[in-house]
Structure 1
Amino acid sequence: MYFIGIDLGTSAVKMLLMRDDGKIVNSVTKSYPISFPYTGWSEQNPEDWLRETKRGLIELMAEYPKEELVGISFGGQMHGLVVLDENDRVIRPAILWNDGRSSEETEFLNTSVGRNVLSERTANIAFAGFTLPKILWMKKHEPDLFSKIRRIMLPKDYLIYMLSGEFCTDFSDASGTLLLDVKNRSWSKEMLELCNLNINQLPKLCESYEQVGTLRKEVAEELDFKPTVKIIAGAGDNAAAAIGTGTIGEGRCNISLGTSGTIFISSTHFKVDSFNALHSFAHADGNFHLMGCMLSAASANQWWCKNILGTTHYDEEQANIQKLGENNVYFLPYLMGERSPHNNPFARAMFVGMSLDTNREDMVQAVLEGVAFGLRDSFEIARELGIKVNRTKICGGGAKSLLWCKIIANVMNVTVEIPEQDEGPALGAAILAAVGSGFYQDLESAVSRIVRVKDSIEPEEILVKKYEQAYWNFRKLYPAIKDWYGK
């Protein structure tokens, strides 16, 4: 039997074909454009996602027995606003997670509605990347289009709807809308009233491992798949990635070094930090998680190497970096603003501490360390909640750099475990497909069989001490210059 995991990312959709024993036998990636029509805006056409997903699925299964395909599930970029009219046509381009246009709406929610009220209703405060501020922006600036909205959905849920006809979402993805009462796992009536929405405009809520339907007949014919192929709800990208690294249950941690960077701590209990600096979301395992999210992680390294240095040979740029913990150059990684813990869409990146003897390696090292320090900001908040993390899994494109993993291990003072299969959300989605299809009894049994660690990096006492001082130097920088950003 086979299962497919689909990761609907910001730059591409990745599809994995997993055998029932957990072995990945094929993968296909299809890219699509992203539009930045104005400064701070970020949009995509959902129809591009669907077209490339269908093309990828046909290619993925071309040399494998389609009759043995049992289930498909999804991981997807979170927070994006997808709106359809009464004829299921896309009303406007999707407004993505890294779009910053809704700063006024975010400020309104956090001040006029109030952070305490938002936290009580949704377990979170407003961030510009969340879905509700985008809805309010559309209501104010595009009232004619807003009046045509029949269905509001998240990016991966658009794929589910078009492939299966089921209008649904899962709790983990819904947590990032600011419309979900996370603690009670239901849509918040008060938040719906706030933006003049009715509950019929929102998708049905499901667990991530729940079967929501099967392929539409016409889609099955187009793909040459069986119409009995099961569609499983899936999860937001970070929750799906956590499933793919076995980060479920109580107190397990996963760090993702993708376009954005996250620190993800799973929990069997609902928790909220006093400043709402961490996101308090539902998890794909049916429980909860805390998550700190920085908007620029591996993308910061890509920007520096590709846009500034003019190279994509990332390994070569890191090859001569040796003086860990001794760099005098610091990098604030706020290329597109920042979420956790600063919640400031106006923050911007900068280098600090250069001198005449600063060289190319120092600058590359500063970028890697700046992302690690930014992740530790969230880690510190978790520690204040009494959460003890001694080891973490790591995934994402940036995790391919052993140097970066070593820096993170020593900045955080934790053991970093590198999974055997680093396939991110797509692997987690494939696991959810296998569980939702009934092949595995539950997620615990699935990940215990499928997820393996191939290497681990231990923190080194001397480096930990050096990075401890360096981190607290880094912590002084944002408070010193935040007024310059306009906040």
Structure 2
Amino acid sequence: MEYVIGVDLGTSAVKCLLLDRAGNVVKEAERSFSVMRPAPGYSEQDPDDWVRGTVQALKELSTVEGDVKGISFSGQMHGLVLLDGKGDVARPAILWNDTRTTNQCRFIEETAGLHELLRVVKNRPLEGFTLPKLLWVKENEPQLFEHASVFMLPKDYVRYRLTGEIATDPSDAAGTLLLESRTGEWSKNLLDLFGIPVALCPPILPSDEKAGNLNAETAEETGLIEGTPVFTGGADNACGAIGAGILTPGDTMCSIGTSGVIVSYEEDADVDYEGALHHFHHAVPGGYYAMGVTLSAGHSLSWFRDTFAAGESFDHLLQEAATVPPGANGLLFTPYLSGERTPHADALIRGSFIGMDASQTRGDFVKAVMEGITFSLKESVEILRSKEKTIDTIVSIGGGAKSDAWLQLQADIFGAEVVSLVTEQGPGLGAGILAATGSGWFSSIEEAAETFIRYGKRYSPGAEAAAAYEKVYTIYKQVYPNTRLINEQLYPFRKGGNDA
């Protein structure tokens, strides 16, 4: 038997999938990581923990008899890994959810100009991106920055350790705020403007191109064959989109995990969302994707469960909400527990329950949370539609795709047919598709996806529910502008805020 391996390097764990030629998951292995938070707003990991976890998981997969023809990667975006002159890690990786770089973001915007940034890199400077992290290190750890030899994204460091070769791909490079959208190359103007040597930037290779071969050390540690081709891979959202079949114009995906994203395929490098949505290179050669983000999607529901229904299952809570009508009996929830990204790039805003009264039950609150998460994601869908994109079908993955009731709710709120997947493996499957394509099993990523992806049940909008949700959605959109100032005034009283 012949196999490929898709490695999905997440924030909390690395998951490796062993896939056969039909796209079946023959075996999977996972290893968890911890996150270091040495100061408020800081979020770091030891990159060598990623390597150890990946090697252990690959060793577990190698027990299956057969030949592994290729390995590829999906990885958490934006994280900064710096290597010193010896090729060793210079400091802990600064992760995508680290928020220490607000001052650097303002500096970037003031120095380069927001209009120019949106023209060149298609994105606003946000704390999550890599460029602000580089500038933070340059300002706060100048000796370390001066002696750094190269920066990497997380998956690229793991691949480097497995192969000895340094590279990144367009989809991860796009998340640095340094990649010219039109050319797909590092922006010399931005590098010069911020004093970043071009030599610090890794070479950029296509996501399905071979970036190296498995070295002898890794082969011995994992039980895999030395020289096994290792392909470049892509950013987690790009690989998740491949794993959901988001490969042609108009294809759109909703993913509800801890955060929530709406991803839609783009073929135009010049489409202008004026910074309202992210615009990144896809892992599909020549493709792009637009992305909106809800920071606390599934996290809102898990927060509610942990706070008000500790020990109870999500299934039980969703059953309580199943019979609640649209509008949750007059209750609204905004999922701004950690601030918001789309369409309100606001770090200070916080969530609200609006319309509480003594007649409402816990099921009403659960339904309001589900609706609020989906309303927030609908705002991204509406931005896409405002550019005359036809969004009539949405592939749903993540925790929100594990409930028939929530899938139907998505269809009703989005006003689109919602499609589930038979077997959902997300970014790991996308990485496997890149490995299968790079290994020559298929002539294109699209052809590989036809074999590897299997669609499940479809959910159509109900006319009565959809009409009701349009009315509630109109009310929902009024909550942010009417609570923004209140939340700013409450900020000093929060844990971790300034003294009241």
TM-score, normalization by structure 1: 0.96
Question: What stretches of structure 1 move > 6 A for 4+ residues in a row?
Answer: none
Of 393, 400, 403, which residue of structure 2 is paired with 1:401?
Answer: 403
* Structure 1 Cα separation of the partners of residues 47 and 193 of structure 2: 27
The answer to whether structure 1 residue 260 and structure 2 residue 248 are counterparts is no
The answer to whether structure 1 residue 231 and structure 2 residue 233 are counterparts is no
Question: Is 1:302–1:312's contact at 8 Å kept on the other side of the alignment?
Answer: no
Secondary structure of the equivalent of 1:438?
coil
Map 1:151-190 to 2 at 5 A. 151-190=150-189
- What is the aligned partner in structure 1 of residue 277 from structure 2? 278
- What is the aligned partner in structure 1 of residue 320 from structure 2? 320
The amino acid that maps onto 1:185 is G
Give the CA deviation at 1:357: 2.0
* Structure 2 Cα separation of the partners of residues 307 and 227 of structure 1: 50
Question: Is 2:12–2:34's contact at 8 Å kept on the other side of the alignment?
Answer: yes
* Inter-CA distance 91–483: structure 2 relative to 1 (3 Å threshold): farther
After alignment, is 273-282 or 416-425 more displaced? 273-282
Give the CA deviation at 1:194: 2.7
The answer to whether structure 1 residue 289 and structure 2 residue 289 are counterparts is yes
* Structure 2 Cα separation of the partners of residues 195 and 308 of structure 1: 47
The amino acid that maps onto 1:444 is E
Secondary structure of the equivalent of 2:147?
coil
* Structure 2 Cα separation of the partners of residues 274 and 458 of structure 1: 28
The answer to whether structure 1 residue 354 and structure 2 residue 353 are counterparts is no
- What is the aligned partner in structure 1 of residue 96 from structure 2? 97
The amino acid that maps onto 1:22 is G
Which runs of 5 or more structure 1 residues have no equivalent in the other structure?
A: none
The amino acid that maps onto 1:299 is H
* Inter-CA distance 348–272: structure 2 relative to 1 (3 Å threshold): farther
* Inter-CA distance 486–274: structure 2 relative to 1 (3 Å threshold): same
Give the CA deviation at 1:104: 1.7
Question: Is 2:324–2:367's contact at 8 Å kept on the other side of the alignment?
Answer: no
Give the CA deviation at 1:486: 3.7
Over residues 172-223 of structure 1, what are the superposed CA-to-partner deviations in whole Å (9 max), with x where a residue is unaligned?
A: 1111110100121111112212332112211111111111111112111221
- What is the aligned partner in structure 1 of residue 372 from structure 2? 370
Give the CA deviation at 1:144: 2.9
* Structure 1 Cα separation of the partners of residues 11 and 355 of structure 2: 33
Question: Is 2:212–2:231's contact at 8 Å kept on the other side of the alignment?
Answer: yes
After alignment, is 285-294 or 343-352 more displaced? 343-352
Which runs of 5 or more structure 2 residues have no equivalent in the other structure?
A: 490-500
- Give % identity: 39
* Structure 1 Cα separation of the partners of residues 90 and 362 of structure 2: 47
The amino acid that maps onto 2:303 is W
The answer to whether structure 1 residue 419 and structure 2 residue 421 are counterparts is yes
The amino acid that maps onto 2:382 is E
Over residues 352-390 of structure 1, what are the superposed CA-to-partner deviations in whole Å (9 max), with x where a residue is unaligned?
A: 222222321122222211111111111111111111110
Question: Is 1:6–1:14's contact at 8 Å kept on the other side of the alignment?
Answer: yes
The amino acid that maps onto 1:305 is R
Give the CA deviation at 1:112: 4.0
Give the CA deviation at 1:464: 0.6
Over residues 286-335 of structure 1, what are the superposed CA-to-partner deviations in whole Å (9 max), with x where a residue is unaligned?
A: 11111112222222222221244213510111102122312122222122
- What is the aligned partner in structure 1 of residue 497 from structure 2? none
Give the CA deviation at 1:439: 1.1
Map 1:386-465 to 2 at 5 A. 386-465=388-467
- What is the aligned partner in structure 2 of residue 146 from structure 1? 145
* Inter-CA distance 409–473: structure 2 relative to 1 (3 Å threshold): same
- What is the aligned partner in structure 1 of residue 196 from structure 2? 197
Secondary structure of the equivalent of 2:378?
helix
* Inter-CA distance 343–165: structure 2 relative to 1 (3 Å threshold): same
Question: Is 1:4–1:433's contact at 8 Å kept on the other side of the alignment?
Answer: yes
* Inter-CA distance 388–14: structure 2 relative to 1 (3 Å threshold): same
- What is the aligned partner in structure 1 of residue 310 from structure 2? 310
Secondary structure of the equivalent of 1:4?
strand
**Please, what is the CA RMSD of the aligned residues?**
1.6
Secondary structure of the equivalent of 2:168?
strand
- What is the aligned partner in structure 2 of residue 10 from structure 1? 11
The amino acid that maps onto 1:228 is G
* Structure 2 Cα separation of the partners of residues 145 and 344 of structure 1: 32
* Structure 2 Cα separation of the partners of residues 173 and 311 of structure 1: 38
Give the CA deviation at 1:438: 1.0
